[in-house]
Amino acid sequence: MGRASVRRPVLRIRGPHHSSRPDTLVVEEPLEIRVAGRALAVTMRTPGHDVELAHGFLLTEGVIAGREDVAVARYCDGVDDEGRNTYNVLDIALAEGVPAPDPGVERNFYTTSSCGVCGKASLDAVRLTSRHAPAGDPVTVDTEVLSSLPDTLRDHQRLFSTTGGLHAAALFDADGRLLVAREDVGRHNAVDKVVGWAVSEGRVPLTGTVLMVSGRASFELAQKAVMAGIPVLAAVSAPSSLAVDLAEETGLTVVGFLRGNGMNVYSHPHRIAVTEPAAPARSAAR
């Protein structure tokens, strides 16, 4: 299996001082996802949790609705120039009766680590219809709980600590308990790995949960949350206008600039319960 990080020599310059030393880099390699032997997409990802990534990708693209729609996932032969298997081709066999992917899902180009919707066959295919839309989810999340999520996510970014080059996504319940965290060079891949874990665990739709991401809340991440039935998407940075438009339409709560005890709620704020400051203790009567 490919490694998630590698060591490379670098020239380290700090003002007038310089030295040669090894540095740790995050690995970026292509993964070709096939369905029944037919190439569906190629994404640039960090190796690891590839089956989760594929399951999450297929669910957020509307190909499957849950783990019962997948019969088997297996690596195919993908060899390097020395004839070694790179484990960079994954073939998914759908369960009997599950229709093959719609032609609109097929990517005309590879998906880079920075773009999860590049190469869509048409713009209309970008807006997908979710089988697990979160509009009716009654969950509420306390602002004190939300404020704790970025630190918890950061504590579980093992590869980021050594490379500084990965995005992360994590799934929490409404009380702030961590369910799963994943890292990847692509922000959309990190989310697909989280969703794919939920598919494998039979947890879809992900009602009553919060998806926390380490960067911005882009349209593609909002769409993935909606497709998985996640009611709250929280990000340490800003959302895009299209992400908020999609959230308003589908019932997704989007929280941005989640830092310290501050945050902005961009859509469906009824799910956010503002923590009231504790009243100062009253001094004993004398």
As annotated, the active-site residues are 115
Residues 36, 37, 40, CA angle at the centre, nearest 5°?
A: 85
CA 52 to chain centroid: 11
d(CA 46, CA 186): 8
Contact 222, 83 (CB under 8 A): no
d(CA 59, CA 71): 14
Q: Which helix (H) or strand (E) holds 2?
A: none
Asked if omega into 205 is within 30° of 0 (cis), the reply is: yes
Compute the CA torsion angle 251, 257, 262, 267 (nearest 10 deg).
Answer: -20
CA 210, 247, 140, 214 torsion-angle sign: positive
Contact 75, 89 (CB under 8 A): yes
d(CA 222, CA 230): 9
d(CA 50, CA 99): 22
195: left (phi over 0), alpha (psi -120 to 50) or beta: alpha
